[in-house]
Chains A and B, each alone.
Chain A
Amino acid sequence: MTPWNQRVPVAWCMLLHRKGRFLLSMLGIAFSVVIMFMEIGFSNGINDSQARLPVFLNADLVLLHKARTNLLEGDRLNRIRMQQALACDEVVSAVPLYEGLQLVVNPDTNLVRVISVLAFPPRTTPLKLPELDGLTERLGVKGNVLFDRLSRPVYGTIREGTQLTIGDQPTTVVGFVGIGPSIRSDGYVLMGNETWDDSKAGADLVSMALLKVKPGTDLDALKTKLLAQLGEEITVLTPEELREREVYFTAHATPAGGVFAVGLSIGFLIGMIICYQILFNEISDNMPQYATVKAVGFSKSYLVVLVMQQAVLLAVFGFLPGLAGGAVLYFVIQRATQILMFLTWQRAGFIFVLTLFMCAVSGLLAVRKVLRADPAEVF
């Protein structure tokens, strides 16, 4: 075996030989990489957007009704449970959080839109939002609301003092916080629980109760204790667990996950076909050369390695522009839609592995042609 550093870099030279073709090949693979990035971007974006709320929850533990398997729907929790939780020594505070959808009238166009409403007692900060600290007190005035400045611009021009009709209730925007839209609604509005009570029946039912515990408390032990004391009706989770549960639910229990999986597969297939086509053409062009190489005594494995090297090079050089394109599109889409499009190392790594796999499969398909090259035909 000739050491690698002494070998003629045939695969590399073959790819670089026709620069125009190589560029097109790169772009072709990059195209499929971008498709894959978009699919996992949207998929994760929707999951992340959907699970946006738990990230902001200012709590050590969240109490939910057991039947509430996700934040989109499900039973509310009786406030009694919250009080029961407070009875535990470890629990320092419990804040009720009401969540629901309301119709809101766009003051510019008078069109009705859906908005997510979060309500909680004034002077509490159930959400980790920097702006909230100074504004939560103002929610004590009935009819005052805080508007989500990251919401999509479908609610019209909202300024401080804008009168908004939420549900049937006239409200006044007294400040702004930044949360961002989900797939369910285009933005959030925050209000005091009294304002909520007026608009909704059944104020003794809360969406979730946010518990703060004493420093150093064993959360797992406390969870077990709460479950034992509060009965079978509740679920208790940390905000992070809630976020994961929400992502899992969106990805698996809603059609969204499947749709994106199909999209991802299509991107993968397109890439595989493009890569196969590139390799197949390369091999067809060099068939006499491959047969010659075989004739003069190179083994089959040399040829397989040669083709697979080309496949890997194509994967790498298609991935890089694909990554760049994906990053740009993520930025643009997040700006335009407020859907969270994170380009994490894990996600980029995942797509890279997919790209490698995609090119490797097409390499293995194309290599069959090389193996059929008959060395006796070269004479």
Chain B
Amino acid sequence: MTAPISPSTPPRPTAAPFFIDRSNVTPTVEIRGVSHFYGEGENKKQVLFDNDLTIYPGEIVIMTGPSGSGKTTLLTLIGALRSLQQGSLKIMGQELLGLSTGEQVRVRRNIGFIFQAHNLFESLTAYQNVRLTTELHDYTPQQRHELPVKMLTELGLKERLGYKPANLSGGQRQRVAIGRALVNQPKLVLADEPTAALDKDTGRQVVNLLQTMAKTRGSAIMIVTHDNRILDVADRIVNMVDGYIVSNIEVAENIAVCKFLQRCSVFEGAPPNLLTDIAGKMKREKHAPGSVIIRQGDLGDKFYLVRNGSVEVSKITDGRTDTLITLKQGSFFGELALLRDEPRAATVTAAEPAELLTLSKEIFLEVRKNLGTFEEQLRKANFGR
């Protein structure tokens, strides 16, 4: 089982490399060491194991994983629908651990919930269903009327304001439910399979809408889904298995890293899924200008890729230091010592603030072993069908 991995502040190496400096931004969701148990005594069963996850404003996070992996439990914990048992969970800076039921209710008012089953009141019109949630906040009478109307208009339901759910299609109902979740413009939206009951086109519409909301309003959106048709909206994909977050991939960054890796001769011929795999296993380091990254003569234990900034490679021959080359974004170094199992042949120093991605020797060699020839890969691909 892979250890839980998460982004964090330097100099601690992390697995999910990112390049946007967010040190000044309060994360919308900040999960540290969260475990959860169901049952009591002998029947006590752990469903979440020491999970870390951070979600920033404006991010769309898609959480996937087999059923029973703890996704929904994590979602209910984030939504303050369950009491946190262990670890720390902050929503917009507020710690949820130890909150009373009443305080949990107050936290929930600032979260938009979209449920798989829309759970609209059959007896209320689309407008009333959306308006109901405005009662959780202070508005003027005028706002209380206009907000639901505006929201439903944005959702393309202007003509359906007075319709009850029974007279709406599945997609329209889900859109009303989304309107209900978004009418108060929450900073955090939690959605559970929002597209499960919808056809392809309606599902796409709904997801695009969520994306617009995230980007224009800076809301963080967390979607639990099995629907891979909507993965493209994700800024980050979190995969959960058996109560652990096994991967937490920032999609744009992952793609950028994969592109670099693809150009590395040492990974020549690696298929995309292997590249993503490698990208996911890389750790991140930051180095100040002038700091030594590897020293000539040391034993090699890592492979390096320059993510940002530049490094200088120098070699000491007969007591004289020669600067050989400056490596920029996308270049790699440190592979020879690993491949040949020899000491480092040169010293590498950060020339300017440098952000490096590293891969441990074991993983590097493992990946190399799996590369094989093109023919071998074809055979594997056919076998895997």
Interface residues of A (CB under 8 A from B): 2, 6-8, 10, 13-14, 16-17, 286, 288-289, 291-299, 375-376, 378-379
Smallest CB-CB separation from B180: which chain A residue? A296
- CA–CA, A10 to B128, complex, Å? 9
Smallest CB-CB separation from A14: which chain B residue? B123
Total interface residues on B, CB under 8 Å, equals 35
- B257 to chain A: closest CB distance in Å? 33
Cβ of A289 and Cβ of B192 under 8 Å apart?
no
Q: Which segment, of B100-108, B280-288, B333-341, B361-369, faces chain A?
A: B100-108
Q: A295-B115, A296-B133, A297-B111 are in contact. List 10 more A-B contacts (CB 8 A).
A: A2-B134, A8-B131, A13-B121, A288-B119, A289-B120, A289-B122, A292-B113, A299-B102, A379-B75, A379-B116
The yes or no answer to B132 lying at the interface (CB within 8 A) is yes
Cβ of A295 and Cβ of B79 under 8 Å apart?
yes
Task: Name the A residues within 8 Å of B108 (CB-CB).
Answer: 295-297, 375
Task: Name the B residues within 8 Å of A299 (CB-CB).
Answer: 102, 105
- CA–CA, A293 to B119, complex, Å? 9
- B140 to chain A: closest CB distance in Å? 9
The yes or no answer to B82 lying at the interface (CB within 8 A) is yes
Cβ of B76 and Cβ of A297 under 8 Å apart?
no
Cβ of B136 and Cβ of A298 under 8 Å apart?
yes
- CA–CA, A292 to B180, complex, Å? 11
Cβ of B105 and Cβ of A8 under 8 Å apart?
no
Cβ of A8 and Cβ of B120 under 8 Å apart?
no
- CA–CA, A298 to B133, complex, Å? 8
Looking at B115, B119, B134, B180, which has the most chain A CB atoms within 10 Å of its CB? B119
1/0 contact trace for B11-35 toward A, CB 8 Å?
Answer: 0000000000000000000000000
Cβ of B76 and Cβ of A6 under 8 Å apart?
no
Shortest Cβ-Cβ A-B pairs, 10 listed: A17-B123, A297-B109, A297-B108, A292-B119, A2-B135, A376-B81, A13-B123, A376-B76, A288-B119, A14-B123
- CA–CA, A272 to B106, complex, Å? 35
- CA–CA, A375 to B124, complex, Å? 20
The yes or no answer to B72 lying at the interface (CB within 8 A) is yes
Task: Name the B residues within 8 Å of A292 (CB-CB).
Answer: 113, 115, 119
Smallest CB-CB separation from A293: which chain B residue? B132
Looking at A6, A14, A296, which has the most chain B CB atoms within 10 Å of its CB? A296
Between A and B, 6 residue pairs with Cβ closer than 8 Å are A8-B131, A289-B120, A295-B79, A296-B109, A296-B180, A379-B72
The yes or no answer to B144 lying at the interface (CB within 8 A) is yes
- CA–CA, A376 to B347, complex, Å? 56
- CA–CA, A150 to B42, complex, Å? 81
Task: Name the A residues within 8 Å of B81 (CB-CB).
Answer: 295, 375-376, 378-379
Looking at B122, B123, B132, B180, which has the most chain A CB atoms within 10 Å of its CB? B123
Interface residues of B in 86-112 (CB under 8 A from A): 102, 105-106, 108-111
Cβ of B105 and Cβ of A10 under 8 Å apart?
no
The yes or no answer to B117 lying at the interface (CB within 8 A) is yes
- B149 to chain A: closest CB distance in Å? 14
Contact among A8, A17, A297 for B122, CB-based, below 8 A: A17
Cβ of B75 and Cβ of A14 under 8 Å apart?
no
Cβ of A288 and Cβ of B132 under 8 Å apart?
no
Smallest CB-CB separation from A287: which chain B residue? B119
Task: Name the A residues within 8 Å of B72 (CB-CB).
Answer: 379
Task: Name the B residues within 8 Å of A293 (CB-CB).
Answer: 132
Cβ of A378 and Cβ of B119 under 8 Å apart?
yes
Cβ of A379 and Cβ of B102 under 8 Å apart?
no
- A44 to chain B: closest CB distance in Å? 41
Task: Name the A residues within 8 Å of B133 (CB-CB).
Answer: 296-297
Task: Name the A residues within 8 Å of B41 (CB-CB).
Answer: none
- A326 to chain B: closest CB distance in Å? 31
- CA–CA, A22 to B120, complex, Å? 20
Smallest CB-CB separation from A2: which chain B residue? B135
Task: Name the A residues within 8 Å of B79 (CB-CB).
Answer: 295, 379
The yes or no answer to B141 lying at the interface (CB within 8 A) is yes
- CA–CA, A289 to B132, complex, Å? 12
- B192 to chain A: closest CB distance in Å? 5
- A92 to chain B: closest CB distance in Å? 72
- CA–CA, A111 to B82, complex, Å? 81
Cβ of B136 and Cβ of A296 under 8 Å apart?
yes
- A19 to chain B: closest CB distance in Å? 11
Cβ of B128 and Cβ of A8 under 8 Å apart?
yes
Task: Name the A residues within 8 Å of B82 (CB-CB).
Answer: 376
Smallest CB-CB separation from B122: which chain A residue? A17
Contact among B113, B131, B192 for A296, CB-based, below 8 A: B113
Cβ of A6 and Cβ of B144 under 8 Å apart?
yes
- B301 to chain A: closest CB distance in Å? 44
Cβ of B135 and Cβ of A288 under 8 Å apart?
no
Task: Name the B residues within 8 Å of A13 (CB-CB).
Answer: 121, 123-124, 128
Task: Name the B residues within 8 Å of A289 (CB-CB).
Answer: 119-122
- CA–CA, A76 to B141, complex, Å? 76
- A3 to chain B: closest CB distance in Å? 8
Smallest CB-CB separation from A282: which chain B residue? B123
- CA–CA, A16 to B123, complex, Å? 8
- CA–CA, A294 to B110, complex, Å? 13
Task: Name the A residues within 8 Å of B192 (CB-CB).
Answer: 379
Contact among A8, A10, A288, A379 for B76, CB-based, below 8 A: A379
- CA–CA, A6 to B236, complex, Å? 40
- CA–CA, A291 to B79, complex, Å? 14
Task: Name the B residues within 8 Å of A294 (CB-CB).
Answer: 105
- B102 to chain A: closest CB distance in Å? 7
- CA–CA, A10 to B110, complex, Å? 22
Cβ of A7 and Cβ of B122 under 8 Å apart?
no
Task: Name the A residues within 8 Å of B141 (CB-CB).
Answer: 6
Task: Name the A residues within 8 Å of B105 (CB-CB).
Answer: 294, 297-299
Looking at A2, A14, A293, A299, which has the most chain B CB atoms within 10 Å of its CB? A2
- CA–CA, A7 to B141, complex, Å? 10
Task: Name the B residues within 8 Å of A297 (CB-CB).
Answer: 105-106, 108-111, 133, 136
Smallest CB-CB separation from B121: which chain A residue? A289
- B45 to chain A: closest CB distance in Å? 16
1/0 contact trace for B298-324 toward A, CB 8 Å?
Answer: 000000000000000000000000000
Task: Name the A residues within 8 Å of B135 (CB-CB).
Answer: 2, 6-8, 298
Interface residues of B in 62-87 (CB under 8 A from A): 72, 75-76, 79, 81-82
Task: Name the B residues within 8 Å of A291 (CB-CB).
Answer: 119
Cβ of A286 and Cβ of B106 under 8 Å apart?
no
- B75 to chain A: closest CB distance in Å? 6
- A283 to chain B: closest CB distance in Å? 13
